[in-house]
Chain A
Amino acid sequence: MTGSILTKQIIDLDKTREIYKDASASYKSRIVICAGTGCMANGAMSIYNKFREVIYERGLKVAVMLDKEEHKEDDRCDNDFLLVESGCQGFCQMGPLVTLYPQKILYTKVKTSDVEEIVDRTLIKNEYVDRLLYECPDSKHHVRDMDKIPFYERQNRIMLKLCGHINVHDADEYIANGGYFMARKSVLEMTDTQICKEILDSGLRGRGGGGFPTGRKWDLTRINESDVKYVICNGDEGDPGAFMDRCVMEGNPHSVLEGMIIAAMAVNATKGYVYVRTEYPLAVSRLKTAIRTARENGILGEHIFGSDRSFDIEVMEGAGAFVCGEETALIASIEGKRGMPSIKPPFPAEKGLFGKPTVINNVETLATVPVILEMGAEEYRKLGTETSKGTKTFALTGHVANTGLIEVPFGTTLREIVGEIGGGVIDDDGNNCGVDFKAVQIGGPSGGCLTQEHLDLPLDYDNLRDVGAMVGSGGLVVMNQNTCMVQIARFFMQFTQNESCGKCVVCREGTRQMLALLDDIIEGRADAATLDLLEELANTVKIGSLCGLGKTAPNPVLSTLKYFRDEYIAHVYNKRCPTGNCDALKTYRVIVEKCKACGLCARKCPVDAIEGSKGVPYVINIEKCIRCGACYTACKFDAIVKG
């Protein structure tokens, strides 16, 4: 491949940025349609097409890709508007979202039938369409400046900033916003030790769960001499209830590549892999396109940025196994084997992919790297807490008014996240009930739950570990008062039991037995010994398992046992589920005041467990009752309750 440097064009970042600035100044408005998964499912693409249609109908012109030709002064503006598809803007609950710049207007829940009005009133006459603006639930006030919407105002979006803003189909937009400048700097101006030091100084810790200092990890790989080294980006995102990495890979794939280039320069690697889970086909195709574009511009491949360094990246699609998120399992999977973890040491930094020193980092960790170099370690360190620097993204879901993707500095409290950004907890019918939640599950199947008493705990790696939870990948699932915590523990146990790879006995059999014990509790077969046995087993699995999956699998059980022991006790001793969710423990009862003694329930009962006569309220015989619920559904007066 010698000589390719002569033929391949190398992008001039400064010039690209300059041209872009000039060109974008010539548009009256920039219309950003959120094309994240949430908005897409709600019809974002038909809104996009409708905009094109309506603007043409009005005799105006709209470009879908910034026109970067250098125009002469007099005919500069060929187009009136620029219409772009962006990655996820985070506010999924309010989608489809349409944002207009420079006005900074955010229109929510837009329908195709609203598009004409937006074009005629906002784009042409510069008026607001109030009904589409975000309405504050309390004050009923319409927010005109999107930065003032509480959901965004309380966040600190530095890593996600470009994700919901730039055109996903135009790499130049990334460059125009400073993209690849830091990759170039790392290739041309910095030494490997300098890069490692800068990242170490920034205090960046891995965002994939473990929280290991990234600078240290890089340095450990750097010092291992080898002709070949690898950088792997872990995009397996297996935690159910988390989707941050997906949004970054789909909405700003170049930032992931840039982080990988910088990592490669720090450890002197020549080849990189992005491992993406199979459930994310869009992320796979966006990354592949981004890699192609980067190669065409001399950013990846041989002689990057005209230097004598080479680095190339390949995308590897996972095949559906949670355990492959674990680094040694992931490496086995890239090598084409069953994705089973192996014992550490040796760590990947010594012997990783194909036996060579390997750096493996999470998507978010890598996407944060260019941001750190740009801000400088000093500046970045100012965000966050003593032990956890910077910002963290969370996927906020479950029983919360504003579900979506958020980024906040470490140290933010649950009260701020759930109450202010999330807009409060909702009950099963969607009514808002402030911060009256039961628990928040953080860290997915490896994590634990936080309760009311943790509302004001500053969230960071160490505080969470101390209360038996973990940052994990950053899934934050809010649960309202109607949620049965034993069932939640069972849910996670079922998940880890399914996903246990089977290599070590403690994890394989232990999770199965724990699941069986939880089933006993939920189905009313538990006795006095069950809880002790469960706890003992949980601690055994925790200590005896080979990899992180087994070591953390008991966490949801232990943490619910710690904070919601009452609920377990009610299930075991009183054979009652306090939230009335466990079918086998439900008892049915007639409310005397409401019963009209019509006798319908008695006729519906398949086992004749209901007795009564005309004029006298009916009674359910608990001994005979098989808890089928037929009476409950039959009663026209809501006179039968379960629980």
Chain B
Amino acid sequence: MRNDFPVKFDRVCEVLDKHKCDPNKLIAILQEVQEEYKYLPEDIMTYIATALGISPGSVFGVATFYSHFTLEPKGKYVIKVCDGTACHVRKSEEILKVLEKELGLSGRKKTSDDMIFTLETVACLGACGLAPVVVVNDEVHGSMTKEKTIELLNRIREQEKQENNK
């Protein structure tokens, strides 16, 4: 653990340098940091606060205000079920239920213990013409049904198995 600390902070420093430690760029900085680490570790946020000369509370406040930021690591496959209006009236809830059941996840427990799956709902992905929509790591799957959802899940599991066998 000790050993990767310097490396860990190296990357934050790069991001901070790029934005010239400008507190007005806090959101952009957090976005890039999250891109790097997949989430916002607490020590990194404190570090950012010190570097920008603002209180850790302000950084934490911004990080918790916006739903895009996560303070916990997410699974390898992030499955987002759209629950925007268009998807909702086309019964996205049924699809969410199928996924919750299949993955053993819920509104409270969003990531599986093996860190493979994270299940979330989002409000409109802007693909309403294809409602209901499910997005797996930025890949859009439209006109979903319960059957297609299970098929999709099985495909991911299969792929995961093959990668493990390699």
Contacts and interface: CB of A to CB of B under 8 A. Distances in A.
Contacts of A241: 84-86, 124, 128
Contacts of A317: 27-28, 31
B123 A40 contact: no
A336 interface: yes
A405 B129 contact: yes
A144 B80 CA distance: 39
A38 B127 contact: yes
A114 interface: no
B128 A479 contact: no
Interface in B13-62: 22-28, 30-31, 58, 61-62
B148 to A, nearest CB: 12
A163 interface: no
Interface stretch (A253-261, A274-282, A380-388, A599-607): A274-282
B5 interface: no
Contacts of A475: 85-86, 128
A321 B67 contact: yes
Interface in B85-105: 85-86, 88-91
A42 B128 contact: no
A37 interface: yes
Contacts of B83: 240
Given A38-B129, A403-B128, A491 B142 contact: no
A281 B84 CA distance: 18
A243 B126 contact: yes
Interface in A394-428: 395, 397-399, 403-405, 428
Contact of B124 (A279, A316, A333, A428): A279
Counting chain A CB atoms within 10 Å of each CB, which of B25, B91, B130 scores highest? B130
B26 A336 contact: yes
A93 B143 CA distance: 10
B125 interface: yes
B124 A336 contact: no
Interface residues of A, number: 56
A444 interface: yes
B24 A335 contact: yes
A92 interface: yes
Nearest to B122: A279
Contacts of B28: 316-317, 336
A260 to B, nearest CB: 20
A614 interface: no
A242 B124 contact: yes
A42 B140 CA distance: 9
Nearest to B54: A336
B67 A333 contact: no
A320 B68 contact: yes
Nearest to B123: A240
Nearest to A245: B126
Counting chain A CB atoms within 10 Å of each CB, which of B22, B62, B68, B128 scores highest? B128
Contacts of A491: 85, 88
A501 B124 CA distance: 19
B77 interface: no
Contacts of B122: 279
A428 B138 CA distance: 28
Nearest to B64: A338
A320 B24 contact: no
Contacts of B123: 238, 240, 322, 495, 498-499
B24 A336 contact: yes
A354 B22 CA distance: 14
A319 B86 contact: no
Interface in A438-484: 441, 444, 475, 477, 479, 483
B162 to A, nearest CB: 22
B26 A240 contact: no
Contacts of A495: 123
A501 to B, nearest CB: 8
Counting chain A CB atoms within 10 Å of each CB, which of B27, B90, B122, B131 scores highest? B27
A234 to B, nearest CB: 15
B31 A41 contact: no
B85 A441 contact: yes
A341 interface: no
Contact of A279 (B85, B126, B131): B126
A470 B165 CA distance: 56
Contacts of A441: 85
A601 B141 CA distance: 38
A488 B138 CA distance: 28
A37 B143 CA distance: 13
A479 B86 CA distance: 9
Counting chain A CB atoms within 10 Å of each CB, which of B65, B85, B90 scores highest? B85
Interface of A: 37-38, 40-42, 92-93, 95, 237-243, 246, 278-281, 316-322, 333-339, 354, 395, 397-399, 403-405, 428, 441, 444, 475, 477, 479, 483, 488, 491-492, 495, 498-499, 501
Given A241-B124, A317-B28, 14 more contacts: A37-B126, A41-B142, A92-B129, A93-B129, A240-B83, A278-B31, A317-B31, A337-B58, A338-B62, A339-B66, A398-B89, A403-B128, A404-B129, A477-B85
5 closest cross-chain pairs (CB), A and B: A92-B129, A240-B84, A319-B66, A241-B85, A240-B124
